């Protein structure tokens, strides 16, 4: 955040601009508002339905007049953008912006150049490329990503230990995650947003106690639209398998969900992490608004602003700055509710004795499901553990019985444990994996449609349209006797394939939804 004064809000102001063109670290040329610059547009777009847990990438469009065709710009170049109010003291408030696209208009002799900061390219870089070895902390991961970009790490308004969480065996990653998704998970786990400036990767936590860095009066409005403020009241962490933990403040408000976070999913202290997150940002209130005004190029992402006509303050999270000899800015923050965003199998921090969790260990390719219920004198535990070697199921019951011994005036506590391995009691199906098929029995068929013989395992049930066969050669799933999914030594053949998050093809390609209503294809090789 820069030091603000009244200069930019004065009735009469003069703002100058220049851009520097670089090839690697070499300055190629400088272009000014008085010669080649036609316009500069800078966009900073954040999430519309989150209070934290996202990053903002700078995008710029620079238009240069190239009358003599002497300006040469390619994707090998990058720009620095400067503004001044006195044509002497120049401020560079944005990170280096790397050329992504150059369009030439032969009629107008105009170059339209699209640029992004380094965050843009992290969507094609995987976690494996950091070459981090466990143990490490969240801070170690963030610093490694900053170093990868040639920057240092800076944390603003973070006064707790959220960055210091240690991972003795590493976070829940398999190495193919993009660095952009890792940054998002870091921001979620630390209740921050992230962005770049000239020298730093910055993680900033929005302040609950808000003193506006800049106050915008209605004299500086061009157009305005104000909405109701939104308060962050609940934080809910939910895993890939729907195991959810939530914490809430006493006031009503909005819920933010943290889904499949690689730094939280396998933690046994996830409930404490959720509680700590609520303590950090619970109650954060942000005013909704859409404002077109005279603008201030010194405002950084996450700076707090007060606006005349709004009872609550807001933040710079979405804005577009436009320079055409004069400066203007469009700034907004609107919370978009997502009705589909709900937890599954929710639990609360108070449910200590009735626990359920589901863990997906990506690195070791293991899934563990556990549920337990504890009463005054008994405990029931059901556990399923799955890995590449097989499936282990366990159901146990522990009972404590108290018998009064009147002769000795003492209590005798007897503990009785009943355990069943490899059983599915709800369907009354029992598969004793550890017991060999003997005495000439070559096949076992249950009353519920399970058949286990030397050809494999067949599962079907009267009245249902689905059936499954499993053998040493693979697995086939049928619907009305038509194969809809086959997995064998030739690969996987599916009638319909739905990937919830993304689809990996081979070693190089990744397809996913991008920013709501778009589709992205990334090279990750």
> Is the pLDDT higher at 273 or at 461?
273
Q: How many CB atoms lie within 10 A of CB 344?
A: 11
425 SS3 class: helix
Hey, what are 165's tokens?
A: 């969480």
Full set of structural domains in the chain with CATH: 121-204 (3.55.50.10)
H/E segment holding residue 369? strand 366-374
Q: How many CB atoms lie within 10 A of CB 210?
A: 18
Hey, what are 233's tokens?
A: 């009241």
Residues in contact with 375: Cβ distance below 8 Å, sequence separation at least 6, in sequence order: none
> Is the pLDDT higher at 385 or at 520?
520
Hey, what are 97's tokens?
A: 């912006």
Q: What pLDDT, in 10s, does the model give residues 219-245?
A: 888 899 999 999 999 999 987 666 789
The residues that bridge with 378 in the sheet, in sequence order, are 399
> Is the pLDDT higher at 430 or at 124?
124
H/E segment holding residue 514? strand 509-514
Which of 336, 234, 210, 225 shows the shortest CA–CA distance to 285? Answer: 210
CA atoms 116, 117, 118, 120: torsion sign: negative
CB contact burial 109-129 (16+ within 10 A = b; e otherwise): ebbbbebbbbbbebbebbbee
Q: Average pLDDT for residues 135-162, to the nearest whole number?
A: 97
Q: Average pLDDT for residues 47-69, to the nearest whole number?
A: 92
219 SS3 class: helix
Q: What is the pLDDT of residue 352?
A: 39
User: What is the pLDDT confidence band of residue 394, given thresholds at 50, 70 and 90?
Assistant: low
> Is the pLDDT higher at 43 or at 221?
43
Q: What pLDDT, in 10s, does the model give residues 68-99?
A: 788 999 999 999 999 999 999 999 999 999 99
> Is the pLDDT higher at 129 or at 484?
129
Total-model pTM: 0.70
H/E segment holding residue 148? helix 138-148
């Amino acid at each position: 955040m820069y030091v603000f004064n009244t200069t930019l809000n004065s009735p009469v102001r003069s703002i100058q601009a220049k851009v520097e063109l670089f090839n690697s670290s070499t300055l190629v040329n400088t272009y000014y508002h008085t010669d080649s610059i036609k316009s500069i547009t800078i966009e900073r777009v954040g999430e519309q339905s989150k209070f934290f847990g996202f990053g903002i990438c700078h995008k710029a469009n620079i238009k240069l007049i190239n009358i003599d065709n002497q300006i040469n710009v390619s994707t090998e170049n990058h720009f620095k953008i400067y503004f001044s109010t006195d044509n002497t003291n120049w401020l560079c408030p944005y990170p280096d912006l790397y050329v992504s696209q150059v369009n030439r208009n032969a009629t107008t002799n105009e170059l339209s150049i699209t640029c992004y900061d380094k965050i843009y390219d992290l969507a094609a870089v995987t976690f494996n490329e950091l070459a981090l070895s466990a143990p490490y902390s969240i801070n170690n991961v963030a610093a490694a990503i900053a170093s990868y970009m040639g920057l240092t790490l800076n944390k603003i308004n973070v006064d707790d230990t959220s960055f210091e969480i240690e991972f003795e065996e590493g976070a829940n990653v398999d190495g193919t995650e993009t660095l952009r998704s890792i940054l998002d998970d870091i921001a979620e786990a630390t209740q921050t947003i992230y962005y770049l400036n000239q020298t730093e990767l910055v993680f900033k936590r929005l302040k609950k106690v808000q003193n506006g860095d800049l106050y915008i009066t209605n004299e500086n409005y061009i157009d305005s639209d104000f909405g109701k403020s939104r308060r962050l009241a609940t934080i809910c962490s939910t895993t890939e398998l729907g195991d959810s933990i939530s914490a809430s403040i006493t006031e009503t408000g909005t819920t933010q969900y943290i889904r499949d976070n690689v730094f939280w999913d396998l933690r046994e202290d996830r409930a404490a992490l959720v509680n700590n997150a609520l303590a950090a940002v619970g109650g954060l209130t942000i005013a909704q608004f859409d404002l077109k005004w005279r603008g201030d190029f010194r405002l950084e992402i996450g700076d707090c602003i007060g606006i005349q006509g709004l009872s609550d303050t807001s933040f710079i999270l979405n804005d577009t700055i436009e320079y055409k000899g004069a400066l203007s800015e469009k700034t907004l923050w609107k919370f978009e509710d997502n009705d589909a965003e709900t937890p599954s199998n929710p639990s609360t921090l108070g449910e200590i004795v009735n626990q359920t969790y589901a863990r997906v260990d990506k690195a070791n390719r293991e899934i563990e499901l556990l549920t337990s219920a504890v009463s005054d004198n008994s405990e029931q535990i059901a556990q399923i553990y799955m890995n590449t070697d097989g499936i282990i199921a366990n159901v146990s019951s522990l009972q404590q019985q108290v018998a009064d011994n009147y002769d000795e005036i003492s209590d005798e506590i007897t503990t009785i444990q009943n355990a069943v391995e490899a059983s599915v009691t709800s369907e009354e199906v029992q598969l004793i994996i550890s017991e060999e098929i003997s005495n000439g029995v070559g096949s076992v068929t249950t009353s519920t449609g399970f058949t286990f013989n030397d050809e494999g395992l067949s599962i079907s049930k009267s009245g249902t349209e689905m059936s499954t066969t499993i053998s040493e050669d693979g697995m086939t799933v049928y619907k009305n006797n038509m194969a809809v999914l086959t997995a064998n030594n030739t690969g996987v053949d599916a009638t319909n394939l739905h990937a919830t998050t993304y689809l990996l093809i081979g070693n190089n390609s990744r397809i996913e939804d991008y920013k709501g209503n778009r589709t992205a294809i990334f090279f990750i090789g």
